[in-house]
Structure 1
């Protein structure tokens, strides 16, 4: 397997990203119910291609990361936030997630951001380990913030200076 190629999303990625997003849905990382038809478009007025980096592996869509402003407040436009990370099941273990996180940090840095933040569910050990290995630190925990499949789950806030 080759190294992941990371690029900015294009409008024609929408169908593939939507399929990927539905295929990887899990309460390990999702707080919304599993999507059901009719499906909402992947791109919206809020999040378009400009807000996504995609990973290709051997010429196929292998994952994406969504990078956004954490709020609409002018006072924190110096911060970018990872608001979604997905890796296709067949691409896991190939460095796709790591490449996407690194690319997101570099993308934010080039855009002039001073900080990068994210939120991750407390029970998502693999994601937390990835983020920690890429320099993110726990900055706060909202205990039992979500009730998922009958279990209360922490919301972990992580960040790093750029």
Structure 2
């Protein structure tokens, strides 16, 4: 899948993108958005559960600016109508340019084209910027798991959001 938004191109990830995507994971890491310790700059990103085809990358002038990962929330056949955003990063130096919204909308469009009925995601309650982005993209809060995580010395709620496609 490729979509154009001015100079921004969104495409499916390729195996050779892994080092740059891992680097972006490393430089974008924050307790504001992550529930695991900071990954190494060369951490493996792709594996059997997370193949490159599950990732869309945003690039401009040959430079990867971000990615969004989506997949099935469970392996159950009765749950195949749902797709979940399971990873999402925009290069800190490229934020504020609409790249995040373009990635979310591209992921939803791809899921819709695949016959998926609903897109879901989880976001930390204190990540107000991400929550606003998801709301602008049509996601609504489906539920909250209070104090689900202990991060950087505070309890943080886990917010479940969803959008019908």
* Cα displacement (A) at 1:58: 2.9
Instruction: Check if 1:132 corresponds to 2:132.
Output: no
Distance in structure 2 (CA, Å) of the matches to 1:28 and 1:36: 18
Q: SS at the partner of 1:130?
A: helix
Instruction: Check if 1:81 corresponds to 2:107.
Output: no
Instruction: Check if 1:150 corresponds to 2:153.
Output: yes
Instruction: Check if 1:44 corresponds to 2:47.
Output: yes
Point out the more displaced range, 45-54 or 2-11: 2-11
* Cα displacement (A) at 1:9: 0.4
Contact kept, 8 Å, 2:72 with 2:83, in 1: the verdict is yes
- Once the two structures are superposed, residues 1-24 of structure 1 have per-residue CA deviations (whole angstroms, 9 ceiling, x without a partner) of x54210000111011111111110
* Cα displacement (A) at 1:99: 0.3
TM-score, normalising length: structure 1? 0.95
Q: SS at the partner of 1:156?
A: strand
Task: Map 1:71-110 to 2 at 5 A.
Answer: 71-110=74-113
Unaligned regions of 5+ residues in structure 2, if any? 1-5
Runs of 4+ residues deviating >3 angstroms: none
Q: What CA RMSD, in Å, does the superposition of the two structures yield over aligned residues?
A: 1.2
Distance in structure 2 (CA, Å) of the matches to 1:68 and 1:76: 11
Point out the more displaced range, 60-69 or 40-49: 40-49
Distance in structure 2 (CA, Å) of the matches to 1:69 and 1:59: 29
* Cα displacement (A) at 1:52: 0.1
Contact kept, 8 Å, 2:25 with 2:39, in 1: the verdict is no
Distance in structure 2 (CA, Å) of the matches to 1:35 and 1:8: 23
Q: What residue is the counterpart of 2:29 in the other structure?
A: 25
